[in-house]
Chains A and B, each alone.
Chain A
Amino acid sequence: MTSPAIGANKLTLTRENTTILDAISIDIPAGSVVGLVGRNGAGKSSLLRCLAGLVEPDSGSSSLLGCPSLELSDAVRARLGYVAQAPDLFEWMNVYEHLCLVGRAYPTWDEQRCLVLAARFELPLGKAVRELSGGDQQKMAVVLALAHDPDLLLLDEPVSSLDPLARQEFMRAMFGARAEHRERTIIVSSHILTDLERVVSHVAFMRRGALQLFDTWDAMLEYLRLAPVDTVVPDKAIICRAAGAPSMVIDIRHAPGAASAGKVMTLTELFAELNK
């Protein structure tokens, strides 16, 4: 058994007596594309920042590609791509200069690949970074994260300002530009759930700092149902039952008889139910 590409063990973070991350444990297998979803303030960005080693947790630990997040080696760093929620760019440079500057920091940087990506996102290479629109700055952060062909991508709402066509291009780019037969593991937080449905292998639901549910998306579609609260099922089949709600989310792997009692949910519907 190989070690997970991303691992967290009881990761806990508190700030001023508020729990930001509540004992999060998760093992993400190599090659997965994980959609990290949850309401604003659920802890998605904090989790990604802890995983990337940018924030030290109060307790617990995490690792990327087998290396502890807080002691990432240069070799592992070179295989990472990270897009922060608010891209931190050098505003006085022009786009081309900026791309080249960052590129020099990575041994696997390929200028050709970078320029192809920039062209696909229609980035104006000669323009000063400070004059870019919010959307173009976000595209630039995405190009910077992808152009060294990383094995692991941590993406914190990378497409929130992008139009639908640019978002499709982004989804293609996540999988493209790979040397043959190399796996890429991706964790991407987003509120655009209809986009995530296209590309994720797994979904991780966060609520109030805790990991609420983690499974493959195919399994969620196959086995989770929204059933009336009076459906008779064993306790372990109940994923979520909000007080006063007329229905609950059940896992029919633990209640095979209830398969026809409920309806299959889209990611948007499941999100709404889990956050009631």
Chain B
Amino acid sequence: MDFDISPNAPTPIYRQIVEQVRRMVASGQLKAGDPLPSVRTVALHHAINPMTVSKAYSLLETEQLVVRLRGVGMAIADAGGTSPKRDKLAMLRPALDAAALTARQLGLDDAAAMALFQTCLDQLPLKDDHD
């Protein structure tokens, strides 16, 4: 697996990594036991500071979303563990809040905005639900 990182986005890089892992776990693209790439691999690939990747992994570890396996690196934690299942809708909310704001600024009517969101959804294939 590989992370999608935009070093020049106004979101801190560590947060981009954390949020991607959260989303991929919520969607089932990452499952319990799946390894995360090593800090060094991610840092070298994206030419970013390894400390930033470490910071992201440590936060995920604190959230108990990932576990540190001795000699192996980081892996996705057992879903049956103590970590509460994140609400998928809550994770979608920030993106939609931003879209709603833009729609209001443009003075679009609600039906047109909703229709556009449906068009956007239709463009992407439906992922299997791993629940």
Contact = CB atoms under 8 A, between A and B. Distances in A.
Interface in A138-187: 168, 171-172, 175-176
A221 B50 contact: no
B125 interface: no
Contact of B10 (A33, A172, A201, A264): A264
Contacts of B7: 194, 197-198
B12 A199 contact: no
Classify chain A: how many residues form its interface, as a range: 20 to 34
In this complex, the interface size class of chain B, counting residues with CB under 8 Å from chain A, is 10 to 19
B8 A197 contact: yes
A265 interface: yes
A31 interface: yes
B44 interface: yes
Contact of A199 (B9, B11, B14, B48): B48
B46 interface: yes
Contacts of A217: 12
A266 interface: yes
Contacts of A222: 12
Given A194-B7, A201-B51, A175 B43 contact: yes
Interface string B1-16: 0000001111111100
B47 interface: yes
A200 B12 contact: no
